[in-house]
Amino acid sequence: MRKTVLVTGANKGIGFGIAKHLGLNGWNVIIGARNQKRAEKAINELTALGISVAGWVNIELSDLNGIEQAAKEVNDNFPDLSLLVNNAGIPGDMGVDGLHTEISDIKRTIDVNFIGTFALTKALMPLLTNNGGRIVNITVPSEISPYWHPLAYVTSKAAQNAMMGVLAMEAKQQGKSLEIFSVHPGPTTTDLNGNMSLPGFHDIDTVGQKMAELINDGKIHQGEFIELYPIVKED
Ligand SMILES: NC(=O)c1ccc[n+]([C@@H]2O[C@H](COP(=O)([O-])OP(=O)(O)OC[C@H]3O[C@@H](n4cnc5c(N)ncnc54)[C@H](OP(=O)(O)O)[C@@H]3O)[C@@H](O)[C@H]2O)c1
């Protein structure tokens, strides 16, 4: 039987790369996207590659009611879901230093990267646990890098990392049939960073393929924080 994965933010960037390479490795893919047009574009590209796309779900992470509705749809239409890839995220304002970050920007970034991601994870956890499934969190390290530290983004991601660490710890302590771990894909050329392509950056295919290899490696990664590629260090 094919394994079924939901990737949030799968219409472009790293999420698309992960959906593509899991699909090429035999997974049945559900696209998480914010509207039908964006979802259809991804579905057309993936199906043209021979990938099995189960469908798409409308996931706007700043809309808690919408997340409940999305989780209900997944439960009703895709009851064999065995993997959630929490990939969707926003950068916040990366152009200001920490002290000058607008409070509204911090709230917006935390709403999406932390609160929305938690709400979706919580809503899908019973189904994933029932299916002996996994949750993979796409993120950056919590440790503050001297080279790059946009406040809204790194604080929202640190909260996201702590949340996943807590949930993984509880899953282990409670003997739940659920594996949770976080992955830092490393610097990747996407819209999130204005398609930056400096030495040390990778493209979405390289990252998607390495992510698919990690997810398919047959090992247990409960509670781990895995770096696919490190943050780029500047001189
Ligand atoms: N790029 C990097 O160097 C890098 C490094 C480390 C970690 N990451 C993480 O990787 C993940 C993917 O980033 P990316 O670089 O691929 O960025 P991206 O190309 O900008 O893609 C972001 C994805 O998230 C979706 N998204 C944005 N806001 C959303 C919301 N409110 N609700 C639901 N979906 C939303 C976007 O959908 P729309 O198309 O509708 O906007 C898009 O599908 C993020 O969590 C990011 O923090 C990226």
Tell me the percentage of the chain whose pLDDT exceeds 90. 96
Question: Three-state DSSP class for 205?
Answer: helix
Cβ–ligand 1 distance for 62 under 6 Å, the answer yes
Question: Three-state DSSP class for 20?
Answer: helix
In the predicted model, is pLDDT for residue 1 greater than 70?
no
**Which among 165, 157, 112 is positioned nearest to 139, based on CA atoms?**
157
Tens digit of each residue's pLDDT (9 = 90 or more) over 63-99: 999 999 999 999 999 999 999 999 999 999 999 999 9
What are the φ and ψ backbone dihedral angles of 103, each rounded to 5 degrees?
-60, -40
Token pair 């780029």 is found at 232
Q: Is the CB of residue 121 less than 8 Å from the CB of residue 167? A: yes
In the predicted model, is pLDDT for residue 142 greater than 60?
yes
CATH superfamily, region 4-227 = NAD(P)-binding Rossmann-like Domain (3.40.50.720)
Q: Which atom of ligand 1 is nearest to 61's Cα?
A: 32
Going from N- to C-terminal start, the domains of the chain cover 4-227
Whole-number Å distance, alpha carbon 75 to ligand 1 midpoint, is: 24
Whole-number Å distance, alpha carbon 192 to ligand 1 midpoint, is: 6
Cα separation, 201 vs 189, in Å, equals 6
pLDDT given at position 2: 73
Give the number of C-alpha atoms closer than 13 A to the C-alpha of residue 129, restricted to the C-beta side: 14
Q: Which atom of ligand 1 is nearest to 153's Cα?
A: 47
Tell me the percentage of the chain whose pLDDT exceeds 70. 99
Cβ–ligand 1 distance for 154 under 6 Å, the answer no
pLDDT band for position 234 (cuts 50, 70, 90) = low
In the predicted model, is pLDDT for residue 144 greater than 60?
yes
Q: Is the CB of residue 95 less than 8 Å from the CB of residue 152? A: no
Q: Is the CB of residue 190 less than 8 Å from the CB of residue 208? A: no
Q: Which atom of ligand 1 is nearest to 60's Cα?
A: 32
Q: Distances in Å between the alpha carbon of 93 and those of 87, 159, 168, 200? A: 19, 17, 30, 23
Which residues pair with residue 7 across a beta bridge?
31, 85
Q: Would the pTM of this model clear 0.85, i.e. be above it?
A: yes
Q: Which two tokens stand for residue 134?
A: 């996994």
In the predicted model, is pLDDT for residue 235 greater than 80?
no
Question: Three-state DSSP class for 127?
Answer: helix
Tens digit of each residue's pLDDT (9 = 90 or more) over 21-80: 999 999 999 999 999 999 999 999 999 999 999 999 999 999 999 999 999 999 999 999
